[in-house]
Amino acid sequence: DVKVTQSSRYLVKRTGEKVFLECVQDMDHENMFWYRQDPGLGLRLIYFSYDVKMKEKGDIPEGYSVSREKKERFSLILESASTNQTSMYLCASSFGEEKLFFGSGTQLSVL
Amino acid sequence: GQQVMQIPQYQHVQEGEDFTTYCNSSTTLSNIQWYKQRPGGHPVFLIQLVKSGEVKKQKRLTFQFGEAKKNSSLHITATQTTDVGTYFCAGHGDSNYQLIWGAGTKLIIKP
């Protein structure tokens, strides 16, 4: 069974902390994505990567960075967490323009 | 930039009634994908449409892609409680990597 695994389902952090969200896929997909989902706003793309060590900004990259050192792993980093980054974070992967497979999501609360 | 508008935001139906959600893009799309997100879950791929005027069916679900490849619809016949969730459309525009997402339509079954 294909899998996209996110390291934490729930996470609580304090303002100013550095936060790492990890995502691993076992499907050998080139493309990986980080989205955040807020009520009424749908899915908003933060960053994506189409190859190892490659990254592209999405629609809302401010306050975030990413790392893709290995094909199967895509990490989202919040350099200094703020309360407006409280959200559901979803990782996804795909081949080319084919369907996205999503992880179960990480609900991050920044206090 | 490219946008996909999805309406309505919510739809309340009695069980057994039909449900339709519509997506309109500001530009031509190379394909359109549909996803379903159950409450508390993550988006799960339903279908992809690629050809102008394409119609596909999955049991009680009918998906259409417009002739100009700028609009799409999902119709559910005789809704059941298992259909509850949020339905998203997403299409590839100019970029091969980045999907443009609609904001989703939440289907609510009235008790």
- Residues B81-94: pLDDT tens digits? 999 999 999 999 86
When pLDDT is averaged across residues B14-40 and rounded to a whole number, the result is 96
pLDDT tens per residue, range B41-78 = 999 999 999 999 999 999 999 999 999 999 999 999 99
Separation CA B51–CA B35 (nearest Å): 18
Which pLDDT score is estimated for B98?
A: 81
Separation CA A42–CA A94 (nearest Å): 19
As a residue count, chain B comes to: 111
Of residues B98 and A50, more confidence is placed in A50
**The CA-based dihedral angle spanning residues A102, B5, B1, A108, taken in that order and rounded to the nearest 10 degrees:** -40
Which pLDDT score is estimated for B2?
A: 81
B48's tokens: 């992809």
b/e map of A56-72 (b: 16 or more CB within 10 Å)?
eebeeeeebebbbeebb
Per residue of chain A (111 residues), give pLDDT as tens. Answer: 679 999 899 999 999 999 999 999 999 999 999 999 998 788 999 999 999 989 999 999 999 999 999 999 999 999 999 999 999 999 999 998 889 999 999 999 999
On whether any CB of chain A is under 8 Å from the CB of B101, the answer is yes
Query: One-letter amino acid identity for B33?
Result: Q
Which pLDDT score is estimated for A110?
A: 98
On whether any CB of chain A is under 8 Å from the CB of B88, the answer is yes
B103's tokens: 């904001």
Separation CA A83–CA B19 (nearest Å): 37
Q: Please give the C-alpha separations between residue A97 and each of A9, A43, B48, in angstroms, as whole numbers.
A: 27, 17, 10
Please name every residue paired with A45 in a beta bridge, in sequence order, or none if there are none: A35
Separation CA A76–CA A42 (nearest Å): 19
Residue A21 makes CB contacts below 8 A (sequence gap 6+) with A6, A7, A8, A11, A34, A75, A76, A77, A78, A89, A91, A106, A108
On whether any CB of chain B is under 8 Å from the CB of A60, the answer is no
Q: Quote the mean pLDDT of chain B.
A: 94
Separation CA A34–CA A16 (nearest Å): 21
Separation CA B108–CA A22 (nearest Å): 33
Q: Which of A11, A54, A37, A18 is nearest to A92 (CA)?
A: A37
Separation in Å, CA of B2 to nearest CA in chain A? 11
Which pLDDT score is estimated for B95?
A: 64
On whether any CB of chain A is under 8 Å from the CB of B98, the answer is yes
B84's tokens: 């509850």
Yes or no, beta carbons of B42 and A103 under 8 Å apart:
yes
Which pLDDT score is estimated for B96?
A: 63
DSSP annotation string for B77-98: SS--GGG-EEEEEEEE-S-SSP
